[in-house]
Structure 1
Amino acid sequence: MTDGLRRVAPDSGLEEAVEILERDGALVVEDLADAGTLKALWDDLGPALDARDYSGDWYNGTRTRRVSSVFARTDRLTPVVTHPLFLGAARRIMQRPVHVWIGRSRTALVPTVQISGTQAIQIHQGQGKQPLHRDDALHLRRHPGPTSRVQLMLAMSDFTADNGGTLMIPGSHHWDDERPPRAEEAVPTEMRAGSGLVWLGGVYHGGGANTTDTPRTGLTIALDLGNLRQEENQYLAVPRESVLAYPEEVRRLLGYDRCPPGLGWYEMDDPYVLLADDGPGPRPAPVP
């Protein structure tokens, strides 16, 4: 498969991945999820996709099915969201110290990162190309500038140029806000099931057209800076019992954490105190 995007092995070094992301804005991590994880995700998310109607609008796709609240529907995402070339890269790129004065002391504050939006997205035959866009437009920010989002699209089925493989414009995170994206600049992501496309929020991209008779299915998870509002309200989307099915690192990523110097506190304390005394608990019932 050749699509103009750099590819790395799942055990590649973090420095290499970060260098590619900062230069190109996107890369493919081959075999990011193993076969067991992929099967478990299909078992948990497949029925919800089958039961979901098409989105029905020009942007989200009139031949596209979307299922959100993903962390409420499966407890199998830990190895995906914590993969070193996704979470590790997001931390390296976004968790950069911000220096502030507090009285006569100059202090370095390091922001947290958090899970923002999640969706399983299934593009069916006859779906056209999605308009090219930047996901960090949600943050109403100017470009170029510091990265506020790092996103993953895990291929639950093979991605090809013909079945809706995500269209990317490598390097477009370096553009200013006056330059519009052009369709001829975009390249399709081609990757086998289990691989992952990682990209920065400032990169222009969009779902591709599916001209085949087989749906293309992907699972996307966005990581944003902890001082920004989540795209998907994880506190409402993921019940407490589902949060408790995950380890502490993922619970904190879901929002049960405090971003320095003090965003997100509960009773002036770390909100994780609400979960700290609970064990993992039983596996939650699936969300319909």
Structure 2
Amino acid sequence: MAPLMLDGLDDYASTGSPRKYHSTAGSQETAPLARVEDAWAALERDGYVILENLFAPGEVARMRAAVLPHMAPRGGRNPFEGLKTRRLYAVIAKTLACNPLVEHPLVLALLDRVFEPNYLLSQLQVIDILPGEEAQALHFDDSFYSLPRPRPVLGAATIMALDDFTPLNGATRVIPGSHRWGNRLPTPEEAEGAVPVVMPAGSVVLFLGTLWHSGGANRSDGARLALTAQYCAPWCRQQENFSLSVPLPVVKQCSEHIRRMLGYSIHAPFMGMVDGMHPKRLLEDRPSAEV
């Protein structure tokens, strides 16, 4: 069923800049349908799905090499983020090496089923759980959108293993099926039964924003490096303010899909406009007075 629209608002989509800058949502390379269907069935049932070996070892090595020089020398700033967990923010401003996760065709194929078109990247972050870190508090990622549960999903996330995820080194813990819960906390038994997402480096877990989960405790002798891309519905505010964190020259180096998800797009009829025009005008080479 088409969304309801007030009289006259549909005219906006067929005039001016929206006519020039057509949405590219859903135009990514097609992922194998059988794999999409299998992954979607697991995602609907459990609230998460493991996409094993989505990236080759060489791609993992390139990402590691690109992000590690930018990592802080020590742990985080509060218990939730992890006092023995290093985090890298504004990743796209520092390197484009991690963009392949954000726009992987299988990831986008699944997100196309979760959200309306023109959904956004909410944040891209590197997380390095160091030895001795405690388990993170269980939470669900789109809780900052303060609408009561149960409700439609407003966010979704991927976590890519840049190291093998094991039960000992801080593998993400999930409570299967908790994406369907109402407004309640996990019971002690449910929290104790959280399942570690064990997967080899290059694999990705994708989960819905309503799924209860957390980073695990690192009882190993080595760090656990991961990359996470989080997404949100096209009308929700992003966690990262990409218009301030990513300079325009860097945005111009990104693919059309990344640009769209950073916010250089319109959610009909006119959410995301700049001075009444399409934000992609800002990426054109023109005198500043004309932008």
Q: TM-score range by the shorter chain?
A: 0.7 to 0.9
Are 1:210 and 2:210 matched, yes or no?
A: no
Residue 5 (structure 2) aligns with: none
Residue 68 (structure 2) aligns with: 46
> Out of 78, 82, 103, which is 1:57 matched to?
78
Q: Higher mean Cα deviation, 63-72 or 82-91?
A: 82-91
What letter matches 1:64 in structure 2? T
> Out of 75, 79, 89, which is 2:100 matched to?
79
What letter matches 2:232 in structure 1? D
Residue 90 (structure 2) aligns with: 69
User: Distance between the aligned counterparts of 2:270 and 2:124, measured in 1?
Assistant: 25
Residue 242 (structure 1) aligns with: 250
Are 1:35 and 2:43 matched, yes or no?
A: no
Q: How big is the shift at 1:149? A: 1.0
Q: Deviations over 1:112-143 (max 9, x none)?
A: 21110221000011101000001110111222
Residue 147 (structure 1) aligns with: 153
What letter matches 2:55 in structure 1? A
Q: How big is the shift at 1:16? A: 2.1
Are 1:159 and 2:165 matched, yes or no?
A: yes
Q: Deviations over 1:228-282 (max 9, x none)?
A: 110111112212122111111111111111111211101222111211459xxxx
TM-score, normalization by structure 2: 0.83
How many residues are paired up? 254
Contact preservation (8 Å) 1:113, 1:225: yes
Q: How big is the shift at 1:174? A: 0.5
Contact preservation (8 Å) 1:56, 1:63: no
Residue 185 (structure 1) aligns with: 193
* Higher relative helix content: 2
Are 1:26 and 2:48 matched, yes or no?
A: yes
Q: Higher mean Cα deviation, 23-32 or 181-190?
A: 181-190
Q: How big is the shift at 1:37? A: 2.1
Contact preservation (8 Å) 1:29, 1:195: yes
SS at match of 1:197: strand
Alignment of 1:200-279 (within 5 A): 200-277=208-285
Structure 1 unaligned residues grouped into runs of 5+: 1-8, 96-110, 279-288
Contact preservation (8 Å) 1:156, 1:219: yes
User: Distance between the aligned counterparts of 2:278 and 2:103, measured in 1?
Assistant: 21
Q: Deviations over 1:156-206 (max 9, x none)?
A: 111001000000011101110124354213100111111001000000000
Contact preservation (8 Å) 1:159, 1:191: yes
User: Distance between the aligned counterparts of 1:196 and 1:11, measured in 2?
Assistant: 18
Contact preservation (8 Å) 2:141, 2:156: no
SS at match of 2:150: coil
User: Distance between the aligned counterparts of 1:11 and 1:166, measured in 2?
Assistant: 27
Residue 22 (structure 2) aligns with: none
User: Distance between the aligned counterparts of 1:38 and 1:173, measured in 2?
Assistant: 29
User: Distance between the aligned counterparts of 1:213 and 1:12, measured in 2?
Assistant: 39
User: Distance between the aligned counterparts of 1:121 and 1:12, measured in 2?
Assistant: 31
SS at match of 1:15: helix
Evaluate the alpha carbon distance shift between residue 64 and residue 78 of structure 1 in structure 2; reply closer, same or farther with a 3 A threshold: closer
Evaluate the alpha carbon distance shift between residue 11 and residue 31 of structure 1 in structure 2; reply closer, same or farther with a 3 A threshold: farther
* Higher relative strand content: 1
Are 1:125 and 2:135 matched, yes or no?
A: no
User: Distance between the aligned counterparts of 2:272 and 2:156, measured in 1?
Assistant: 21
Residue 282 (structure 1) aligns with: none
What letter matches 1:231 in structure 2? Q
SS at match of 2:158: strand
SS at match of 1:13: helix
Contact preservation (8 Å) 1:10, 1:32: no
User: Distance between the aligned counterparts of 1:261 and 1:47, measured in 2?
Assistant: 42
Contact preservation (8 Å) 2:266, 2:278: yes
Are 1:169 and 2:175 matched, yes or no?
A: yes
Evaluate the alpha carbon distance shift between residue 10 and residue 135 of structure 1 in structure 2; reply closer, same or farther with a 3 A threshold: farther
Q: Higher mean Cα deviation, 76-85 or 160-169?
A: 76-85
Q: How big is the shift at 1:12? A: 5.0
Aligned CA RMSD, in angstroms, stands at 1.8
Instruction: State, as a whole percentage, how many aligned pairs show the same letter.
Output: 37
User: Distance between the aligned counterparts of 1:73 and 1:34, measured in 2?
Assistant: 22
